[in-house]
Structure 1
């Protein structure tokens, strides 16, 4: 279950010559969810599109998402400290946090199958390579098809635990999840990349007051 949460939490944040590396800035990602289950689809329709803002600098990243379904979710991936902190402020669950050693997360990902695909997709002028990620645990099957660019040399919330199995930042991702017999499809696509200066304070791994550790972590 830990691996499922690790991959799903984050699921909720130019021209062709623009292949020069971008090491600092802001990325805006649009995410939509769908299901053949009428009940689930009705909930997704109420939520609509979700926007995630990701701040990145060198190999550190911070994703911020705010939606009616998830509440406020902040995911900080500090590469220099090998730590990932997830802060969730959910109307139903309250304020919870999950702190993960990304070195351990890479160990957990050993049985995750990552295959390099043959397709190439261009997103915002960046040429992206295809990767197919598959895993199964506790009755939930997850398949992710990612198109990543090595022009942004930072791990995203979805890829920080995969180590050397996958290179680059995903600019387009389709995630298929089967949980308790319900099929869900989550599509995330980067809609904007801004080259801006980002403060180091964004990547501090500090749990604010009032947050409780998530059960089962």
Structure 2
């Protein structure tokens, strides 16, 4: 495989699979099917679209200069949005126990470095194996929480967790990388018409 060039603007497509050692849980997760994520990136900005038959459509837009993240969700319950700050504080970063692994893996021609991550978030313990490349200069929502502790863009990620007594394994791997110009309006933090504030809707429902 030829060593790949650095990409600072373009599109990354990845596929996520969920499984479980528990046959009943595995059967439920199989109904969700593969989840395809399309990420467009440019100069510290990111636009990620996730399409799932079972979970609906979700769009995440991050702007590292504005330090803001907009999450748009479409489901049977309607269209909602959440606007968040993305500058991770020291307390959040310290939740992650990150060690650099000994392995490397080549994915789509990119040599990737292994990292092992352990975190307990909201009472849920997660162990993650991540392989990142320094050739793709793009934001990533999950890795952004870790601050500068973990470098690069994740080409492969395996998360092992137990949620509500259910053992789950989530594997995500990049299947396509394309360098291409992306229009600035793709990264707009303006809330589209027809979306309601998810936080306000939750408080009304209390």
Larger Rg: 2
Same fold (TM over 0.5): yes
Matched, 1:115 2:110: no
Deviation per CA, 1:64-91, whole angstroms, max 9, x where unpaired? 0110222001111111111122111122
Match of 1:51 in 2: 36
Match of 1:12 in 2: none
Q: How far apart, in 1, do the equivalents of 2:87 and 2:171 lie?
A: 27
Deviation above 3 Å: which 4+ runs of structure 1? 104-107
Q: Secondary structure at the match of 1:159?
A: helix
Deviation per CA, 1:114-172, whole angstroms, max 9, x where unpaired? 21111101000000011112111333111211100000122212112221111111000
State the TM-score, normalized to the length of structure 1. 0.85
State the TM-score, normalized to the length of structure 2. 0.89
Match of 1:10 in 2: none
Q: Secondary structure at the match of 1:45?
A: helix
Q: How far apart, in 2, do the equivalents of 1:45 and 1:206 lie?
A: 35
Contact 1:106-1:161 within 8 A present in 2 as well: no
* Worse-superposed segment, 37-46 or 71-80: 37-46
Could you list the runs of 5+ residues in structure 2 that have no partner in the other structure? Answer: none
Partner residue of 1:139 out of 104, 109, 123: 123
Partner residue of 2:3 out of 17, 28, 33: 17
Match of 2:177 in 1: 193
Contact 1:16-1:127 within 8 A present in 2 as well: no
Matched, 1:84 2:51: no
Match of 1:71 in 2: 56
Match of 1:124 in 2: 108
Aligned residues: 200
